[in-house]
Each structure stands twice: as structure tokens, then as C-alpha cells.
Structure 1
Amino acid sequence: MAAYRTRLRELDEALECDEIDLKKLKQLCFNGIPDEQGRRALCWKLLLNYLPTTRKTWSETLARKRLLYKQFIDEMIITPGSCCQENDGSRVDVTFADHPLNLNPDSQWQTFFKDNEVLLQIDKDVRRLCPDISFFQQATDFPCHEVVQSSGIKRLHKRVQHTILKSANVERKGIGVTKIALSVKKAQEDYAPMPEGSEAHWEVVERILFLYAKLNPGQGYVQGMNEIIGPIYYTFARDPDLSWREHAEADCFFCFTNLMGEIRDFFIKSLDEAECGISGMMGKLGDTLRANDHQVWSRLQQQELRPQYYSFRWLTLLLSQEFHLPDVLRIWDSLFADEKRFGFLIHICCSMIILLRDQLLKGDFPANVKLLQFQVSSNWKLKGSPQPCMLKSGKVKNKEWITLSQF
């Protein structure tokens, strides 16, 4: 416990410096960031290059970024047929000479329909975000003013609302009167939207992802990005400091954008076979496994069980689907703090395989595929008290590997 308090003091001292030593901060964060008093949220903003290392510039940086995000909402979430005000205060139809069947590429309606194709996938994904916890279904304390004050016009889920189906059952008995029973069935929703004036956390995440897709047309939205943004938003939106929590949406957008700048190659299909793409990462995982446990690597080679069969999700989603959320946050502390960020991810994935070595050496191909694809998280969990964990080195046949253990 004394060691824990010492680390807390060292971390606080590092964060309070006028000029933050990023290298030292990374060393401290690599061993786990305490969740108390918003330390994790603040450290992630620094580690993801959102906040500068000079503290006196934070106010200006945050004000500028948050204002920019509001402009994104105003300019990019547009409903065709809505009205705006001219400088003289008069209201005019912004879609004059425009209509839903207009094929002009500059038509707001064409943009609207195209955006809705992307939004439909985002909406489906965010409604299933972190189903093990109720957080994303709950209302945020700080709904977006630009959305709420527009009487809900800018609420994105309305653009892809689930269809209401009406059906009638006709029943005839003998020669008597035909009986018709009307029923209304609504498509099942994972997370229901909040009433007007409120927003659920998943609705906020939906807006962030939609804006990201609009601002990055070369990449757009790819399924799985919701699993990357989820832990970041969760961390920021639970900050005990209200002044930070109020702007969790804007801060999350820029941190997510910076992180995607580092891992976007994993989500671009044309780069799959490039060294920086996902195939290159899976190749590095295979090489690391061979160097650390040749027997397990040989067994998987004999069975032709390639990393492509089980590690694609591990690497692209930074293990966010393999562990419960508290463990994901702990792992990401180290990933974000590591100088060779995604090299360390390879070592974690390698350790996950090595910890299953006895079962893998005994199992046949179907058993091993199932074990690696579906049972990793149940075999390898972070256990113990809510105190942060640290990463320690271990030895497997004189080869170094990485495992997570209690701090």
C-alpha cells in the first residue's frame, strides 16, 4: 500500500509540473493509471497528444478545440428542408430549387441520403456498445446544446429510426362475420433513445463517429470503430471534475481522431497486405510467438492455424473485445504509454497464446480455433482489487513474455 501511495504522489507531481515531462509520465502510466480523481482521463489526453505538455497553454487549446467541434456539429449535421436565417433576420428555405429526387451532386438531399447509409451502420453498432454495463444506455448530464435546442432536428437516430410494422390477422369462423385483429410491431432496439431534451451516452458516441466519418471520407466509418471509441468516451464522461466531464464529447472526438491516425491502416482494406497494415501486424505476432514459444508455434503451424483466424479482432480493436471494460482500461494505460505502442500490443497477444500452451498442445484444430477465438478472455483475466495493475516480465523456457499482474 505504501508503494501505491508513492506512485500516486509521483504521478500527481508529474502532472502538476508547468512543463510536463512526457517521457517520465509514460513510464509512470505504463504501470497503470489510478482511476481516482480523473487521473486516467487527464493522462490519456496527454498520451494521445490532445493536450500539450505546457500547462499554461491548456486553456487556449481546449477552448479552441471545443469551439471547433461545435462548428462541426453546426456545419455537418444538416437536415434538408430546414430553414436558416439571413443576415436581416428573415427566414429562407436553404433547399430552394432542391428536392429529394435532385441528382445534382451538390444537392443537400443527395448528401443526406448518402450520409444515412453510413449512419445506419453506426446506429446499429453504438446501440450494442458495452452491453455488460448500463452506462451507455443512461442519460448524459450534459446533452449537446446544439442538438437539444434544435428541437431534436439534429438527433441522428431519428434519421434511421427503426420501422414500425402494422399487420392484421384475419380470422373467419363458419359463415359469420370476419374478425380482423390489428397489431403493431416495432423492430427490436438494443438501446432506446432518450426523450426530447435528453440524450443517452450512446447517442453522443453516434454523433462523434458520424462526424469522424464525414471528416475522413477516404476512410469513413468501419465497423469496430465503436469499440475503439467506447472506452475513451466512458473514461472522459465519468471524470469526477464537472469542468472536464461537461466537454467529454469534444475531448473524446479529438483523442479518438488522434488514436485513429495511428491505427487507421488496420481499417483500410487496400493496406491489409502492407507492412503497416493488419496482415503485417499478424505476421509480427507469428514471429514473436515463434521466438518465445517455438513448440506452440510449431503446433499451430502443423495445424495450419494462422494468426488470421484468431488475432484479427485482437489487433484491430486493441483487445477491447477480449476483456471486460475495467481490464481494457488497464491494458490501454500501457498501450498508450508505450513508446513502441503497437509492438507492446503484439507482446500481450503473444502472452495470451502462451498462457494457453498446455491446452493448445493437446487440442486438435477445431478445439484450438474455438479456444483462441472465444475462450481467451475466460482464461486470462486481470484479477484482484480495484488498484491498478502493472506489467511484469516472466520467463517461458528462457524466453521473455508479458503478463498483467496486480500492482
Structure 2
Amino acid sequence: MSILRKRLSEFDDVLDADEIDTVSLSKICFHGIPDEPGGLRPLCWKLLLNYLPPIKSNWIETLKRKRELYNTFIEDLIVMPGESNTDDKERVDVTLHDHPLNLNPDSKWQTYFKDNEVLLQIDKDVRRLCPDISFFQQGTDYPCQKIVNANGQRLHHRVQHTVLKSANVERKGLGVTKQIAVSVRKATEDYAPLSEGGEAHWEVLERILFLYAKLNPGQGYVQGMNEIVGPIYHAFACDPDPTWRKHAEADTFFCFTNLMAEIRDFFIKTLDEAEFGINSMMSKLTNQVRANDPDIWLRLHQQELCPQYYSFRWLTLLLSQEFPLPDVMRIWDSLFADENRFSFLIHICCAMILLLRDQLLAGDFATNVKLLQNFPSMDIQIVLSKAATLAGKTL
């Protein structure tokens, strides 16, 4: 029996059971979820991110309830002042006794203007997502009919923006995106909205992130969240089973929400010093480098090359900007299956540094900063195998 067939058989044994053994599922997913036949990764991620319950007979009810709830979010939270809120029974003017100059905090117009400040950043970010592939610029087969058939409720209509030239955007940096010159340029309309009746995948992500920000006002939207939701949506929207694929938007929203509940400390500045805050994570990484290769640690320390210069982005965005999308998804198989919830991320980051040992020991400050901020192309299995060794595991 081939290695692939043996691995597929292992997944079948776990996934065909009436009750999923989540421990066994995590163990086999940690070693990577086979890309073929398609459909395994979307299902496994839904289970690993606690969206689907282990008992399979509960799936239908859970999915129905969650997807209906998501539709309610769309109906309740994406309604513009001046529009009518319509259902099958009544038509109500939502702006009765309200107007754009109303300073009352309860004014729908005040909420609308405040939301647009957040929406402007989301709109920019989703338009620059994965410019090296065309997926997010393409149209979904399942546009949200409540939106595309309702004049004026498409979110990108609410903000004025300059359409970014996708070829000029480098997927590096959290916060300010660096602009670079490239030899091959894509047309500016690559990220243009599709015509009425259609939606590009980036437009779907814009809605997911906007709803997340609305429903989580204590955190809101933080630049970089687009890089977290993108791979999840890509996996679900490419599910070969249309009965799953048509609900990719709602399923992505809840899986993203569950994931953010675990890593949200990375995105909240006031929690930087918390146990799972970003500063604590960077300290753990530095300590692990020192323990495994004192020479590299000393070299970086002498150069005052702080981990904030490179690992802030690595850790916060779960390495989503350091590798091509297929490699990111392979990394996330292990991260989502990590029994210690993202402790393996530290091992991966440490492995990345150790694998650059010769270059780092030979390079000066400027060279090493550039090297770490632009991790060189490398077989992802080499990185993961090194990380597993550091963690005392086999991969």
C-alpha cells in the first residue's frame, strides 16, 4: 500500500465513525492533510476549529443553526441609513426621525459613518490579499443574493478608495504595506468589484471581516486579520462538494471567529505582556533559539537585531505572509492540530532561524534583517521536520 493510500485510510477510519475521535484526528492532521482527494482539509479544519461537533448526527442541526444565524447578521448589520429594511411582511423606513447630521449616539447615521472608517481599512486590505494568485479576484459561484440584488448594500459602495495595483503590493509587513516595483504588472481592474449580480471572493471576505468587527466591538478590525481569514475561506470555497462550498462564507465566518478567540491576544496591544500576548511569544522564541543554537542567539543579540523586526509578523499572522498559500495551508494543518494550541508555532519560527544559520552568522545587521524579513524559498517539509525535532516529535 502506498504512503498516500495508507494516510487516506487513516483519515477514513477516523472520519467515518459516528463520533469523531478528536485526539486521533489531531494526530493524523498534525502530519498534514492530503490535498487529494479534495474535501478532507475543509472538513478537518471545521472539526479542529470546533465548528463541527464530534458527534456526526449533530452536524445537520449545527450547520443549519449557524448558517441561519449568519444570514441574520447580514440582515441586521448590513443595512444602510436611507434604505428600507424589507421582509415578506412589512416595509419599514429605518431612518424615520433620523438624518445624516443627527449627533445622537443612537443615530443610525452616526453608526454608519463610524463603521465606514473601519470598512475603509478592510476594503483596502482585502483588495491586496494574495496578489500572486488570481483566486480572490475571481467571482464566487454563490454570491450573497441579499446583497447583490439590493441596490446600495454592497460594502465597497460605502467607501471611497483608490483601487490598489495588485502587482505593486508586497505581502509583507503588518500595519503599513510596503510598495515595490515589479517587472510584471497586473491591470488595476484585477481587484475591481464584479458587475451587479456577481461577487468576487475578496468582496465576500470584506463582508466577513466587517461583520466580525461589528460583532466584536471590543477588538474590532485589526490590519492583518485579512491574512488570517483568507486561507480558511480559500479552503472552504474550493471544497469539491458543492453542498459544502455554497456555504463557504458562513462556515468561514464561524471558523475564523473561533480561531480569533484563541489568538486574539496577538492583536490586542493592551495584552502584549499577557501570557499569550505577542511579547511573551517573541520572548519564548528568543529563548528557544538561545537554547538550541547559542551562536545564532549571540550573533543576533550583538547586532541588536530584535525579534520585533521579523517575528512579530511571523507570530501574529501565523506565518501566512512568509510562504506561498499551499505551504501556509500545510503549516496550518499542524497548527490547528497542535494539542498545545499554537506552541508548535514557536518551534516552526525557531526552525526557520536555525535553518538560516550559516547566512546569519556571516551576515551584517542589514543583511540579516533583510534575510529574516524575506524568508527565502524553502521546502516546507524541511522547515516542519526541523520544527518537529525541536518539539521532540516526528513528522
TM-score normalised to structure 2 length: 0.89
Deviation, 1:4, is 1.6
Deviation, 1:402, is 6.8
Residue number among 382, 385, 391 corresponding to 1:392 in the alignment: 385
| C-alpha distance in 1 between matches for 2:226 and 2:162 | 23
**Aligned residue pairs, count:** 371
1:224 aligned residue: 224
1:150 aligned residue: 150
1:27 aligned residue: 27
Q: Which runs of 5+ in 2 are unaligned?
A: 164-187
Deviation, 1:42, is 0.2
| C-alpha distance in 2 between matches for 1:107 and 1:391 | 52
| C-alpha distance in 2 between matches for 1:2 and 1:279 | 44
1:286 aligned residue: 286
Determine if the alignment matches structure 1 residue 198 to structure 2 residue 191: no
Residue number among 370, 378, 401 corresponding to 2:390 in the alignment: 401
Question: C-alpha deviations, 1:33-57, integer Å up to 9, x for none?
Answer: 0122300000000000000000000
- Mapping 1:353-392, distance limit 5 Å: 353-374=353-374, 376-378=375-377, 380-382=378-380, 391-392=384-385
1:161 aligned residue: 160
Deviation, 1:149, is 2.8
Q: Which runs of 5+ in 1 are unaligned?
A: 165-187, 384-388
Larger Rg: 1
Judge conservation of contact 2:351–2:383 (CA < 8 Å) in 1.
no
Determine if the alignment matches structure 1 residue 253 to structure 2 residue 246: no
2:277 aligned residue: 277
Letter in 2 for 1:230: G
- Mapping 1:76-225, distance limit 5 Å: 76-85=77-86, 89=90, 91-151=91-151, 153-162=152-161, 191-225=191-225
86 and 274 in structure 1: CA distance in 2 versus 1, 3 angstrom threshold: closer
1:55 aligned residue: 56
1:307 aligned residue: 307
60 and 309 in structure 1: CA distance in 2 versus 1, 3 angstrom threshold: same
Calculate percent identity across the aligned residue pairs.
Answer: 68
Deviation, 1:85, is 5.0
| C-alpha distance in 2 between matches for 1:216 and 1:73 | 15
Q: Would you tell me which structure has more strand in proportion to its own residues?
A: 1
Question: C-alpha deviations, 1:263-313, integer Å up to 9, x for none?
Answer: 000000111122221000000000110111111111111111121111000
Determine if the alignment matches structure 1 residue 43 to structure 2 residue 44: yes
Deviation, 1:135, is 0.3
Deviation, 1:381, is 3.3
Query: How well do the aligned residues superpose, as a CA RMSD in angstroms?
Result: 2.3
Runs of 4+ in structure 1 deviating by more than 6 angstroms, as ranges, are 402-405
| C-alpha distance in 2 between matches for 1:394 and 1:43 | 22
Deviation, 1:31, is 0.5
Deviation, 1:392, is 3.2
Judge conservation of contact 2:8–2:34 (CA < 8 Å) in 1.
yes
Question: C-alpha deviations, 1:52-104, integer Å up to 9, x for none?
Answer: 00000000000000000000000001110112359974x44221221100000
| C-alpha distance in 1 between matches for 2:89 and 2:34 | 54
- Mapping 1:332-347, distance limit 5 Å: 332-347=332-347
